[in-house]
Chains A and B, each alone.
Chain A
Amino acid sequence: MKTKQTDVVAEYLHEVDQRLAGIPVLQRRELLADLAAHIAAEQAERNLTSEGEVIEVLERLGSPEVVAAAAHEEAGTRFTPPAAPSRKRFWLIAGIVAGVVLVLAFCVGALALAQGSTSAPAVQNPAEPAVAPAVVPS
């Protein structure tokens, strides 16, 4: 029971922390310490025992998005969602893949062309007997 509560609290604080990128480290630490102290004080002073009651305290604090957004507003920084850099990376990878595919397609095309020109004279030579002369058994 006790560990389950701290799990929920740790998860909440982690979610907030993940959204604080760009805020000076000491302000970031201060906010996390203030939130942790707030939760611990609520638990101790109001004698909260169940996970449900702890979740209620967290809901009153606000979602990690809302709390982090307020922190960015006060610090004068801007929240860069973690999705943004990965999206940028996605396009980078997509570009590289597209480039590789293009080069490969070019190589395959060139190879096919080269093969076509070497096999072409063979086709133009119909004199070659299609079937080997049958050996007539005596």
Chain B
Amino acid sequence: MADVSQLSTSLRRGTLEFCVLAMVETEDRYGNEIVRRLGDEPGLAAGEGTIYPLLSRLRRSGWLQSKWAESPSGPPRRYYGLTPAGRSALEHFRTEWVSFRLTVDRLVGTGEAA
């Protein structure tokens, strides 16, 4: 039981942030949208609230930018968008991820062709 949750934590580390970057690649989204979307995916986030510290780190490291905007139906929303540095980080991840995934698939025997 402990090993199962340990595994998903390990897999999440280093990949979840790129899922976040990809979510705001084409348009800015506000916190609730990002968090709700990722929370709906099984095994991706331990809780929706754990995404906010991640958003904070990505903003501080210069991959995301944020701005507060008025909402038509509630309190002000904090919108997140990609910075040029975030965009190139995402592109770099895509290349790395594909070759990484192929290698693991080949070694573990999870490839489609295998």
Contact = CB atoms under 8 A, between A and B. Distances in A.
Tell me if chain B binds chain A: yes
Interface of A: 16, 27, 30-31, 34-35, 37-38, 40-45, 60-63, 66-67, 69-71, 73-75
Residue among A31, A43, A62 with most chain B CB within 10 A? A62
B56 interface: yes
A42 B48 CA distance: 12
Contact of B71 (A35, A41, A62): A41
A40 B75 CA distance: 7
B50 A60 contact: no
Interface in B48-69: 48-50, 52-57
26 contacts: A16-B49, A27-B53, A34-B52, A34-B56, A37-B75, A37-B78, A38-B48, A38-B52, A40-B74, A41-B32, A42-B32, A44-B73, A45-B32, A60-B48, A61-B47, A62-B47, A62-B49, A63-B47, A66-B49, A67-B53, A69-B50, A70-B47, A71-B52, A74-B56, A74-B57, A75-B53
Contacts of A34: 31, 52, 55-56, 78
Contact of B74 (A27, A41, A62, A70): A41
A62 to B, nearest CB: 2
Nearest to B60: A27
Q: Is the interface of B mostly helix, strand, loop or mixed?
A: helix
Interface string B28-59: 00111001000100000011111011111100
Contacts, number: 81
B74 A44 contact: yes
A42 B50 CA distance: 16
B106 to A, nearest CB: 31
B87 interface: no
